[in-house]
Amino acid sequence: MAAPPPDPQFVLRGTSAAVHALHFSCGGQEPDVPILFSGSENGLINVWNLKTRRVDKALDGHGRKSVCWVETMDGKDRLLSQGRDQRICLWDLAEGRTSVMDSVFTESVGFCRCSLLKVAQGRWLMAMAAKALDEVQVLELPSKTSVCTLKPEAGAKLGMPMCLKLWQINCDSQPLLLSGYEDGSVVLWNLSMGKVLSQLFCHQEPVMSLDFDSEKAKGISGSSEKVLSIWSLNEQQNLQVHTTHRLVNAGISDITIRPDKKILATAGWDHRIRVFGWKKLKPLAVLDYHTATVHCVSFSDHKNPSERLLAAGSKDHRISIWSIYTQT
Amino acid sequence: SEARGAAMATAVESALREALAGPAPGAAALGALRDGLAAAGGPAALGRRQRERFGALLRSLAAAAAEGPEEPAGPWRSCFVEGPPGLALSALLGALGDAGRRLQPIVEVLERFVREGRLAALMWEVCQQQARGGPAELQDALLAGVVALPDRVSNSLRGRNPAVFFPQNYFPLLGAAIVEVLHEISASLRGGSDCSISFVSQVLGKVCVHGRQKEILSVLVPRLADLTKSDCIWQRICWRLVECVPERWMEAVVLGFVQRAPGADVLSRLLGNLVVKNKQAQFVVTQKFLLLQYGYTTAVLQNLLGYLSLDSLRRALLIKVLQELLETWSSSSAVKHSPAEQQEYISKAILICLSHLKEPEIESCRQELLTSMMEGVKCHLDSSLPQIRRLGMIVAESISSKINTDGPVLKFQYEEDDEARELKSLLVQAPSICAVPSLPDDNDDDLTPYDMSEDKELKKTKAPVYIRDCIEVLTGSEDTDKWEATVKALESLVRKNPAATREVSVELAKILLHLEEKTCIEGFAELRQRAQVAVLTVDPIPVAQYLTSQFYSLNYSLRQRMDILDVLVLAARELSFPKVHGKIKHVEKPCVQLLPGSDSSNDWRKIVDERIKSKTRRFAKGPSQVQVASGPNEFNSVAGHFFFPLLQNFDRPLSTFDLLGEDHFVLGRLVHTLAVLMYLAVNTVAVTAMGKALMEFVWALRFHTDSYVRQGLLSCISSVLLSVPAEHLLNNMTEELLETQSWLGDVVEKDPDGDCRRLALQNLLLMENLKKKLNKTVPS
C-alpha cells in the first residue's frame, strides 16, 4: 500500500486574488532570505519572505490588471513582470526600493506568458507575443532592441501563440524558441533566420503550457484536453511525438520540469497538482489541496537539494508550498 | 556343416530319448540334453518330432515339479529357459492351471523365463511359424498366455506374486520384448526374407484392449518414434504393426497411440495412412473420438486432427470431419441436450480443424461454413448458460475470421479470461515465440509513488439534496451533468431519508425501472440497481407489490424483467440480515464482549484486552469470538409480498412475453430468484406456505428442457429443504417429498447436465439428513 500523499508544508494566504504567476529566488547566500514572488489577478506582485512566511512587499505597477508572469534577472533585485495591461515592467528592488526602472509595451492582448533566457553576462533575450495576433517578438534586454519577429507563413493558421520557451543547448550555441499555438501545434523557431525548423501537432486544443529539457532534447506540453504530450527533438531538428499520457481530468494550465530534470509538476484545472518522474513520465503523486483551478507551479532554486520546494498558485487565492522528492 | 548339424540333432535326439525313458529324468540326462541343444544352435534347430518329444519332456518336468513327491533333480529349470519358448510357456501355464501342491518352483521358472528375454524369443518363434503357416490354436493359446500371464500368476498365488508380474512391471517388459522382435523382423526384411508380424500386433491389441495401453506404449511409442525418424523400413514395420491389429482391438490401440504420441508429426510417422486403409480405424478416429466421446485432452485433439492434416489423402477426411463437427455444433438439439463439456470439446475440435485449413480448402467450403456459422451462432446465443453462449461467440468469431480474410469479421463482447484465450490460441498453429525480456532501462524507479487512488474525475455539478428534486431531474431535466450527479447520489439520499422516500416510493420505483442511460456513466446499471434496492428496502410492501405486478405486465424488455428479479433478491437479502440502527453492520474485527460494568473499568479492560490480543498469536479464530449482530428480521413481515405474486402468472403467455416458450432464460432467472427468496425466508412465518407453493411450482416444470431452468428448480428444492422446519415438511408435504425424491433419483442418473446431477445428489443427501434428524428426535 502506497503512502498517502503529503500535505503542503505551508500555505501562503492573503493575496486576496487568484494567483497567476510564481517565481522563487532562493539561491542567494546567507543572510539573504529565500523569497517567492507571486503575481495575482488584482495586479499586485507580492514578495513573500519564506522564513517568516509573510509578505515583505507588495508591488503595484500594472494598473490593477492581472499579473501573469514574474521572473528575476540575476538575483532578486531585478524583477521582470508581465501584466494584462500589456506592459512588461522591470523592477529595481535593491536596497528596499520598489520602483519600475523600465517597461515595454507589448500591444499583445493574449494570455501568452513571456520567456526569458540569459545568453551572456548582462545580456538576456526575452520572447513575447507581439501586436499581430500570430506573431512572436524577441527582444534583447536590457537594451530592448528587437532581435527578430517570428511570423508564421501565410496560410499556416496557427492562431495565437499560447506559451513560449527560449532555450539553447549550451551558452555558445544559437538560441532557439519553442512556442505552443492555439491550433494545438508546437513549433520550433530558428531565431537568426526567423524560420520554422519543425512543427508538431501535439493537441486537438490550444497548447496551454510547455516545458523543454535541452539535455535530453525532450519536451512536454499540456492543453485543455485530458492528455499530456511528450515529444522529442531529433538530430535533424525535427519534433516527434514520443508518448502521450492520459489524465483523469481535462485541463493543464502550467507545466514545469524541476531544474535537476528528475521530476515535473503540472497545474490542473481539476484543482490538483500532479507530480511525474521525468524519465518515463511515471505518475508519482496527485496533490489535492486547492479548491479551485491551479494556475501555476514553480520549483525553487535552493542550492541545497533537500531544501527544494514546489509552489502552486491557485484561483482560490492561496499558494501552497510543498516539499516533495527532495532526497533524489 | 550339414552333416555336423545332423550329428548334433542325433545327439539331442538320444538325450531326449534317454531323459524320457524313466519315470523321472535324471540329472545326467538333462545335462546332456542342454549340451546337445547348445551345440545344435538353440531350439530353432529342432525338427518336428524332436519338438514333440521336447514338449512332452517339459510337460512331465513341470508336472513333476508341481505334483511330484519332490522337485526333479539336476538343471531342469534351465530346460525351460533354453528350450523352445512356446513349448516351455505352455508347459508352465499347464502346471500353473492344475493348481498343484507346489507352485513356487513353477513361478520361479516363469520369472526367469520373463527376465531372461524369453518373451521376445517366444514371439519371434511364433512369427516365424506363422510365416510357415503354423497351427493357429497353439498361437491363440500362447497369445492368451502372454497377455494374461500377470493375472494367471496372481490368481494361482492369490496375490503373493513376485514384483515382475505386477502389471506396471510386466507390460513395459513386454513392450521392450516387442521392440526386440521388431528388430529381428527388420533384420530379416533387410535380409530379403518375408516375415509375419501379425502375432506381435495381436499381442499389442490384446494388451491395449485389456487397458494396459499406458504401460506398454510408454515403452513402445518413444522407441518407435526414435526408430522411424529416418528409416522407411522401420516406418513400414510400424504401420504394418498397427494395421495387423484385429478389428475388435483396433480402437484401443489407436487411442493408445493418439494419447501417447508426443506430437502430430510423430503420430503420422507411427500410423501412416491407417485411417485411409482401415475402416475401423477411420470410424474410430473421425467419429468416435470426436463426436461420440469427449473426455480427451486438448493435446489429444491436436494430435488427432494434426495427424489428419499431415497427408493429402487424409486432408479430405479432415474437411469431412470439420463438416460433421459443424453440423453438430450448429444443431439446436445438440446445443440444448448435450453436456457443456462435450460442447466445449467439439468447439475446440472445430477451432483446431480451422487452424489446419488452407486458403483454397476454405474457399471450397466457404458457403457451408457460413451457413453452419449462422445456424450455430443463433442456437448458441439462445442458450441460457453463459459458457455455451460464449463458446458460440468464440467459434463464430473464429469461423468468420477464417472465411472473411479481407471483409468485416464478427466481433462479440465477452470477458477475455484464460479459458477464452486458450480457446482462441487453438486457432493459431505457429509455435509461440518466447518473449524477449526487455532490457532494464533507465527509469524512475528510485522515485516511489504516493497513493493516487483518490485521483478521480471531478464532479461538476452538485447533486440534489431532496428526493422530490431527484424525481424532477430524472423525469424532466435536460441538464445531463445534473442528471448524472442525481443518479450517483440517489441511493444514499434514499437511505438517509426513509420518511421522505416513503411518500413517493412507488413513483420512484417506477421511474427507476424505466430509467435509461442518458449519458455514458461508468457503472450506470449498478447505480440504478442500488437505488432500486434502496427504495425497495425502505418501503418494502408497496414497492414489492408494484415490482412483482410489473414483472408479468405488457411491454417490458427482458432486461427490465430481469432487473425486477435482481432487485427483489438483493432487497430480500438486505432485509433478512440483522441490522443495527438501520445500517447493515459489518462485524469486521472479532471483539471481546465485555460484561457490563462501570465506564472507567471498561476503558482499562479494553486497553488491556487489546494489548493481550496484539501480543498473542492465535492459530485459529473460532466463531465464538465473533459477536453476531442481532436484530429483528425485517423480511419476516414482507416475505410473502416478494414471493407469491411471482408464482402467479408464469403459465399465462402475454403477447410479448412467454415464459414457457422462448423466454426460457427469464424463466431460469425467475426460478433461481424464487430459490433465493425461499432460502432467505428461513425463520419467517410464511415459510411453510411458501415452501408448499414452491414445491408445486417445481413439480409443474420438472421436465423443462433448459438445463439452466432445471438447475434453478433443484436449487428451489434445496431451499425448501433448508428453510422449512423439518416437522412442517413431514407433516404438510409428505407426498410432495416422496414424489420429489423419486424425480431426484432420476435426475442423478439421467440428466445430461453435470451441475443438475450434482444438485440433485445434494438434495438427496439433504433429504437423507432430514430423515436421520427425524429418527433421532422421534425414536420409533
Mean pLDDT of the B540-562 span: 90
Predicted local confidence at residue A35, as pLDDT:
93
Predicted local confidence at residue B613, as pLDDT:
64
- Distance between CA atoms of residues A87 and A64, nearest Å: 12
Q: Does the beta-carbon distance from A248 to B442 stay under 8 Å? A: no
Best residue in A263, A284, A294, A323 to probe B by mutation, most B CBs within 10 Å?
Answer: A284
> Is residue B17 within 8 Å of B36, Cβ to Cβ?
no
Q: Which residues of chain B from 220 to 239 reach within 8 Å of chain A, CB to CB?
A: none
pLDDT band at residue B590 using 50, 70 and 90 as cut-offs? very low
> Is residue A206 within 8 Å of A159, Cβ to Cβ?
yes
Contact list, B441 vs chain A (CB under 8 Å): 280
C-alpha cell at B768: 437423507
C-alpha cell at A76: 532578486
Q: Does the beta-carbon distance from B455 to A272 stay under 8 Å? A: yes
ipTM (interface predicted TM) = 0.85
Predicted local confidence at residue B173, as pLDDT:
92
Q: Does the beta-carbon distance from B455 to A263 stay under 8 Å? A: no
The rounded Cα A313 to chain-centroid distance in angstroms is: 12
The rounded Cα B30 to chain-centroid distance in angstroms is: 60
Predicted local confidence at residue B610, as pLDDT:
67
Contact list, A279 vs chain B (CB under 8 Å): 442-444
Integer angstrom CA distances of residue B89 from B97, B125, B210: 12, 12, 21
Helix (H) or strand (E) segment spanning residue A23: strand A19-25
Q: Which residues of chain A from 245 to 264 reach within 8 Å of chain B, CB to CB?
A: 248-249, 262-263
Q: Does the beta-carbon distance from A285 to B448 stay under 8 Å? A: no
C-alpha cell at B310: 499431415
Q: How far is B386 from chain A (nearest CA, A)?
A: 34
Closest CA to B450 of A280, A308, A273, A209: A273
Cβ-nearest to A279 among B443, B457, B458: B443
Instruction: Please say if the pLDDT value at position B439 is more than 60.
Output: no
Predicted local confidence at residue B599, as pLDDT:
44
- Distance between CA atoms of residues A225 and A248, nearest Å: 10
Predicted local confidence at residue B596, as pLDDT:
39
Closest CA to B704 of B753, B742, B657: B753
Q: Indicate the length of chain A as a whole number.
A: 328
The rounded Cα B690 to chain-centroid distance in angstroms is: 38
Q: Strand pairing partners for A229?
A: A221, A244
Predicted local confidence at residue B616, as pLDDT:
60
Q: Which residues contact B34 (CB under 8 A, 6 or more apart)?
A: B75, B78, B79, B82
Residue of higher predicted confidence among B340 and B608:
B340
Mean pLDDT of the B490-507 span: 92
Q: Does the beta-carbon distance from B455 to A6 stay under 8 Å? A: no
Instruction: Inform me whether the C-beta atom of residue A231 falls under 8 Å from chain B C-beta atoms.
Output: no
Closest CA to A161 of A145, A141, A185, A139: A185
- Distance between CA atoms of residues B66 and A267, nearest Å: 102
- Cβ neighbours of A194 (radius 10 Å): 14
> Is residue B123 within 8 Å of B177, Cβ to Cβ?
yes
Tell how many helices (H) and how many strands (E) occur in chain B. 38, 2
- Distance between CA atoms of residues A131 and A182, nearest Å: 16
- Distance between CA atoms of residues B299 and B258, nearest Å: 9
Q: Does the beta-carbon distance from A4 to B450 stay under 8 Å? A: yes
Q: Which residues contact B467 (CB under 8 A, 6 or more apart)?
A: B493, B494, B497, B500, B501, B503, B504, B508
Closest CA to B536 of B650, B641, B684, B690: B641
Q: Indicate the length of chain B as a whole number.
A: 780
Predicted local confidence at residue B64, as pLDDT:
79
- Distance between CA atoms of residues B41 and B25, nearest Å: 23
DSSP output for A204-244 = SS-EEEEEEETTTTEEEEEESSSEEEEEEE-TTS-EEEEEE
> Is residue B300 within 8 Å of B258, Cβ to Cβ?
yes
- Distance between CA atoms of residues A278 and A273, nearest Å: 15
Cell 468447439 belongs to residue: B347
Mean pLDDT of the B462-478 span: 84
Contact list, B456 vs chain A (CB under 8 Å): 248
Amino acid at site B130:
Q
Q: Which residues of chain B from 422 to 441 reach within 8 Å of chain A, CB to CB?
A: 441
Amino acid at site B429:
Q
Integer angstrom CA distances of residue B387 from B339, B565, B675, B759: 11, 22, 22, 18
pLDDT band at residue B748 using 50, 70 and 90 as cut-offs? very high
Cell 532494464 belongs to residue: B440
Predicted local confidence at residue B417, as pLDDT:
85
Mean pLDDT of the B317-328 span: 92
Q: Does the beta-carbon distance from B443 to A328 stay under 8 Å? A: no
Instruction: Inform me whether the C-beta atom of residue B446 falls under 8 Å from chain A C-beta atoms.
Output: yes
- Distance between CA atoms of residues B505 and B528, nearest Å: 15
- Distance between CA atoms of residues B634 and B629, nearest Å: 14
Task: Report the Cα–Cα distance between both ends of chain B, in Å, rounded.
Answer: 96
Predicted local confidence at residue B98, as pLDDT:
66
- Distance between CA atoms of residues B747 and B52, nearest Å: 63
Q: List, for chain A, all residue ranges whose pLDDT scores fall below the cut of 70.
A: 1
Q: Does the beta-carbon distance from B449 to A249 stay under 8 Å? A: no
Helix axes B198-209, B118-132, angle to 10 degrees: 130
Tell how many helices (H) and how many strands (E) occur in chain A. 0, 28
Predicted local confidence at residue B443, as pLDDT:
56
Instruction: Inform me whether the C-beta atom of residue B522 falls under 8 Å from chain A C-beta atoms.
Output: no
Instruction: Inform me whether the C-beta atom of residue A325 falls under 8 Å from chain B C-beta atoms.
Output: yes
Per-residue pLDDT of B328-338, as tens digits, reads: 999 988 888 88
Instruction: Please say if the pLDDT value at position B777 is more than 60.
Output: yes
Cβ-nearest to A282 among B444, B451, B458: B444
Per-residue pLDDT of B213-252, as tens digits, reads: 899 999 999 999 998 888 888 988 999 999 999 999 999 9
The DSSP output letter for A110 is S
- Distance between CA atoms of residues A313 and A293, nearest Å: 9
The DSSP output letter for B286 is I
Q: Provide, for chain B, the percentages of residues in helix, strand and coil under a 3-state DSSP scheme, each rounded to the nearest 5.
A: 70, 0, 30
Task: Report the Cα–Cα distance between both ends of chain A, in Å, rounded.
Answer: 21
- Distance between CA atoms of residues B294 and B289, nearest Å: 7
Predicted local confidence at residue B742, as pLDDT:
93
pLDDT band at residue B555 using 50, 70 and 90 as cut-offs? confident
Predicted local confidence at residue A146, as pLDDT:
92
Integer angstrom CA distances of residue B382 from B332, B509, B511, B662: 9, 30, 30, 9
Nearest CA in chain A to B460: A270
Nearest CA in chain B to A268: B458
Instruction: Please say if the pLDDT value at position B67 is more than 80.
Output: no
pLDDT band at residue B583 using 50, 70 and 90 as cut-offs? very low
- Distance between CA atoms of residues A301 and B353, nearest Å: 68
- Cβ neighbours of B733 (radius 10 Å): 19
- Distance between CA atoms of residues B163 and B175, nearest Å: 17
To the question of pTM greater than 0.80 for the whole model, the response is no
- Distance between CA atoms of residues B671 and B715, nearest Å: 8
Per-residue pLDDT of B249-269, as tens digits, reads: 999 999 999 999 998 999 999
| 3-state SS record for B637-702 | CCHHHHHHHHHHCCCCCCCCCCCCCCCHHHHHHHHHHHHHHHHHCCCCCCHHHHHHHHHHHHHHHC
Q: Which class for A300: exposed (0-12), middle (13-18), buried (19 or more C-beta within 10 A)? A: buried
Q: Which residues of chain A from 134 to 163 reach within 8 Å of chain B, CB to CB?
A: none
C-alpha cell at B675: 430459490
Rounded to the nearest integer, the mean pLDDT of chain B is 83
Residue of higher predicted confidence among B276 and B1:
B276
Q: Does the beta-carbon distance from A282 to B449 stay under 8 Å? A: yes
Integer angstrom CA distances of residue B262 from A24, B428, B634: 72, 19, 63
C-alpha cell at A282: 511515471
pLDDT band at residue B431 using 50, 70 and 90 as cut-offs? very low
- Distance between CA atoms of residues B222 and B156, nearest Å: 34
The backbone torsions φ and ψ at residue B26, rounded to the nearest 5 degrees and listed phi first, read -80, 165
Predicted local confidence at residue A123, as pLDDT:
92
Predicted local confidence at residue B601, as pLDDT:
46
Q: Are strands A44-49 and A35-40 parallel, antiparallel or unpaired?
A: antiparallel
Cβ-nearest to A249 among B441, B448, B458: B458
Q: Which class for B403: exposed (0-12), middle (13-18), buried (19 or more C-beta within 10 A)? A: buried
Q: Does the beta-carbon distance from A288 to B458 stay under 8 Å? A: no
Nearest CA in chain B to A270: B458
Nearest CA in chain B to A1: B451
Integer angstrom CA distances of residue B555 from A244, B99, B559: 48, 84, 12
Closest CA to B292 of B253, B326, B261, B338: B338
SS3 state at B772:
helix
Predicted local confidence at residue A2, as pLDDT:
82
Q: Does the beta-carbon distance from B450 to A1 stay under 8 Å? A: no
Q: Strand pairing partners for A39?
A: A21, A45
Instruction: Inform me whether the C-beta atom of residue A327 falls under 8 Å from chain B C-beta atoms.
Output: no
Q: Strand pairing partners for B275?
A: none
Per-residue pLDDT of A112-136, as tens digits, reads: 999 999 998 889 999 999 988 899 9
Instruction: Please say if the pLDDT value at position B442 is more than 60.
Output: no
